[in-house]
Amino acid sequence: MGFRVVAKDDVTLIEVGGQLIVGNRQLLKEQVLEQLERGDRKFIVDFSKTDYIDSSGLGVLVTLSKKIREHGGQLSLVSLSEDLRTLFELTKLDTLFIFSD
């Protein structure tokens, strides 16, 4: 699976399907940065259909969060499974992101 990006009103929703790994992280980065260049500032990443995130996937989320904040925006993460939420807590990345259910 891949990514689905839907921009509506002032929010860009990114649905991550399957896995966020080294093989597809660049595509996610490019899609989000493209929306950022268009002026979007509020991003929500939906992980309801995500099974796995590797270290490069975490890294791209950190990079995107930093870029979005530099442009005065916000990146929120929603619908994480218990396992994915634990991953963010164990890596201390839960302090970097906004989580919503």
State how far the Cα of 21 lies from the Cα of 83, in Å rounded to an integer. Answer: 16
pLDDT score for 1? 56
Please report the domains of the chain, with CATH numbers, ordered by start residue.
3-100 (3.30.750.24)
CB 81 within 8 A of CB 47: yes
pLDDT digits (tens, 9 = 90+) for 41-74: 999 999 999 999 999 999 999 999 999 999 999 9
Provide the whole-model pTM.
0.92
Contacts of 94 (CB under 8 A, 6+ apart): 85, 88
Burial status of residue 92 (CB atoms within 10 A of its CB: 0-12, 13-18, 19 or more): exposed
